[in-house]
């Protein structure tokens, strides 16, 4: 018979795929911004 979580297994695959792609794109964008503005961020946080 069908288990309780069986319908969730069918729907969680595509949503997790979208979530992983979105997280990777956000991390790439923020990594580029951090590299670009590293001196300003360091001065703002008094790391220099």
Q: What confidence score (pLDDT) does residue 48 get?
A: 60
Q: What confidence score (pLDDT) does residue 9 get?
A: 74
Provide the residue ranges of all domains of the chain, joining segments of one domain with +.
Answer: 11-44
Q: What confidence score (pLDDT) does residue 2 get?
A: 64
| Contact (CB, 8 A) for 37 and 30 | no
Q: What confidence score (pLDDT) does residue 20 get?
A: 95
Q: What confidence score (pLDDT) does residue 6 get?
A: 74
Cα(19)–Cα(27) distance, rounded to whole angstroms? 12
What pLDDT digit, counting tens, does each position of 8-47 carry?
Answer: 777 888 888 999 999 999 999 999 999 999 999 889 998 8
Nearest partner of 38 among 4, 30, 16, judged by Cα: 30
């Amino acid at each position: 018979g069908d288990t309780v979580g069986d319908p969730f297994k069918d729907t969680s695959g595509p949503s997790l795929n979208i979530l992983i792609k979105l997280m990777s794109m956000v991390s790439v964008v923020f990594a580029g911004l951090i590299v670009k503005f590293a001196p300003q961020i360091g001065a703002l946080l008094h790391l220099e």
